[in-house]
């Protein structure tokens, strides 16, 4: 294929990308990844149709698209027949991430956001200063850009946050256990219902965990062994501890508000032995790794759904931490979208 023909193919992919994502969303809502996972092996088209309650013709078309794009795998049985029952469908590494307790809710949120007409990345918004970091262009620092969500979406969002916390925390535990050595008490700022902190105190039982979030969020949190739930506002005060963790919190906010948050975290830790642990994406503009595309795509998402949130480069993180009064910091990269930044008073 020549260069122009390849370019046309890529334009088609970009133009139809939203509908492609909705096809993946349909697969999740039908429960196809979970059905195959629970079945423990390949299934025929008729078996899948009967299990998820979707007519065979429509399901065949959906699976045709999904298998072509590597979401599922289609294999022929030892038969020369063209009957649909001569082939079966099985999981791939991609589809295993689309079960409900992993990345499924994230895909659903991206494929069909609420009030989609109000969320967007338009030239008009960009000209008005959205995504520029110019705080004075906007009357408020609301995270979501002019959108009201219903109860169903809010529930889905909280499901995603819990699933995301599991994935990010597992990567943190596997790749950077030394980060938590010597910490007696750890506060997770913006920890929602405590999923991450619960995993951390289980992995590192010497830690006494404090899950810190807004009072209405904490009110819905379940009891977790080794974790104290504390309600409050990170812009006002953060509970005292040996270390403070911010996992995917700062990317929601402008530079100025991040500095305010970081200053409150710095006040909460000992000046001689404390540290702030930041778990966020770090963008490499010069080269990058296999996760760079995901980080850049996430940055576009932040530009789309927030006013001044963004994913930051090493230089931008350094500027924030210096402005907040930290004397030094280190960055540890993981085999994940996120890296770990340790900041010291």
Listed residue (108, 244, 104) closest to 180, CA to CA:
244
The helix (run of H) or strand (run of E) holding residue 177 is none
* CB distance 56 to 46 below 8 Å: yes
Query: Cα(342)–Cα(294) distance, rounded to whole angstroms?
Result: 23
- The predicted pLDDT at position 43 comes to 92
Share of the chain residues as helix, strand and coil, in percent rounded to the nearest 5 = 45, 15, 35
Which is more confidently placed, 119 or 156? Answer: 156
* CB distance 72 to 66 below 8 Å: yes
Across 97-111, 271-285, 317-331, least confident range: 97-111
270, pLDDT greater than 50: yes
Average pLDDT over residues 198-207: 97
- The predicted pLDDT at position 257 comes to 92
Which class in CATH covers the domain with range 3-96? mainly alpha
For domain 114-344, give the CATH superfamily: Vaccinia Virus protein VP39 (3.40.50.150)
Q: What is the pTM of this model?
A: 0.79
Q: How many residues does the chain have?
A: 345
Q: Where are the domains of the chain?
A: 3-96, 114-344
- Res. 308 pLDDT band, cuts 50 70 90: confident
152, pLDDT greater than 60: yes
Q: What is the DSSP track for 86-145?
A: GEEEE--HHHHTTSTTTTHHHHHHHHS-TTTTTS---HHHHHHTTTTT-GGGSS---SSS
146, pLDDT greater than 50: no
Across 76-85, 166-175, 229-238, 304-313, least confident range: 76-85
Mean pLDDT, the chain, integer: 84
User: Do 114-344 and 3-96 fall under one CATH topology?
Assistant: no
- The predicted pLDDT at position 164 comes to 82
Which is more confidently placed, 230 or 286? Answer: 230
Q: What angle do CA 174, 264, 323 make, to 5 degrees?
A: 90
- Res. 118 pLDDT band, cuts 50 70 90: very low
**Where in the sequence numbering do the catalytic residues fall?**
251
Query: Cα(63)–Cα(261) distance, rounded to whole angstroms?
Result: 46
């Amino acid at each position: 294929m020549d260069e122009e023909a390849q370019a046309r193919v890529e334009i088609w992919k970009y133009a139809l990308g939203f509908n492609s994502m909705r096809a993946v969303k349909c697969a999740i809502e039908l429960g196809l990844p979970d059905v195959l996972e629970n079945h423990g092996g390949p299934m025929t088209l008729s078996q899948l149709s009967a299990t998820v309650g979707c007519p065979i013709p429509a399901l065949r078309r959906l699976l045709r698209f999904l298998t072509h794009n590597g979401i599922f795998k289609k294999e022929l049985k030892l038969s020369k027949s063209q009957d649909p029952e001569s082939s079966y469908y099985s999981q791939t590494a991609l589809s295993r991430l689309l079960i409900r307790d992993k990345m499924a809710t994230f895909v659903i949120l991206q494929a069909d956001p609420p009030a989609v007409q109000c969320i967007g990345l338009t030239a008009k918004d960009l000209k008005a200063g959205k995504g520029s970091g110019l705080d004075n262009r906007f009357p408020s620092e609301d995270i979501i850009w002019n959108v009201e969500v219903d109860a169903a979406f809010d529930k889905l969002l909280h499901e995603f946050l819990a699933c995301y916390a599991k994935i990010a925390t597992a990567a943190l535990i596997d790749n950077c256990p030394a980060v938590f050595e010597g910490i007696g008490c750890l506060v997770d700022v913006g920890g929602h219902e405590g999923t991450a902190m619960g995993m951390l105190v289980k992995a590192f039982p010497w830690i006494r965990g404090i899950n810190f979030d807004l009072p209405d969020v904490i009110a819905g949190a379940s009891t977790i062994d080794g974790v104290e739930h504390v309600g409050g506002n990170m812009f006002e005060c953060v509970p005292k501890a040996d270390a403070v963790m911010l996992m995917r919190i700062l990317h929601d906010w402008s530079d100025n508000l991040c500095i305010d948050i970081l200053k409150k975290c710095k006040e909460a830790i000992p000046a001689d032995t404390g540290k702030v642990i930041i778990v966020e994406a770090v963008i490499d503009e010069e080269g990058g790794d296999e996760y760079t595309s995901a980080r850049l795509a996430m940055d576009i998402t932040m530009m789309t759904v927030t006013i001044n949130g963004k994913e930051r480069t090493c230089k931008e993180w350094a500027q924030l931490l210096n402005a907040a009064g930290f004397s030094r910091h280190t960055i540890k990269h993981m085999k994940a979208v996120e890296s770990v930044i340790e900041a010291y008073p």
